[in-house]
Amino acid sequence: MYNHLLPDKFVSTVFDITPENLKEMGFRGIITDLDNTLIEWDRADATEELAAWFKRMQDAGIRIVIASNNNEERVKRFAEPLSIPYISRARKPLGKGFYQALVRLKLKREEVAMVGDQLLTDVMGAKRQKLYTILVRPVAQSDGFVTRFNRFVERRVFNELKRKGIKTWEDL
Q: What's 157's domain CATH number?
A: 3.40.50.1000
22 is a domain residue = yes
Inside any domain, residue 171: no
> Within a domain: residue 157?
yes
More confident residue, 125 or 158: 125
Least reliable range by pLDDT among 42-51, 73-82, 159-168? 159-168
Q: How many domains does the chain have?
A: 1
3-state SS, residue 50: helix
Residue 39 DSSP class: B
- Residue 3 maps to a domain: no
Whether residue 102 has pLDDT greater than 80: yes
| Mean pLDDT computed over every residue of the chain | 88
Separation between Cα atoms, residue 110 and residue 66, nearest integer Å: 18
Beta strands in 86-170 (DSSP E): 86-87, 112-116, 132-136
Range(s) of the domain holding residue 72: 9-166
Q: What pLDDT, in 10s, does the model give residues 42-77?
A: 787 899 999 999 999 999 999 999 999 999 999 999
124 part of a folded domain: yes
Question: Looking at the predicted structure, is the pLDDT value of residue 142 above 60?
Answer: no
Kindly tell me if the per-residue pLDDT of 37 is higher than 60: yes
Contact indicator for 75, 97 with CB cutoff of 8 Å: no
In a domain, 125, yes or no: yes
61: in domain: yes
The angle subtended at Cα 45 by Cα 44 and Cα 48, nearest 5°, is: 155
What was the pLDDT predicted at 131? Answer: 97
Strand partners of residue 138: none
Q: Is residue 172 part of a domain?
A: no
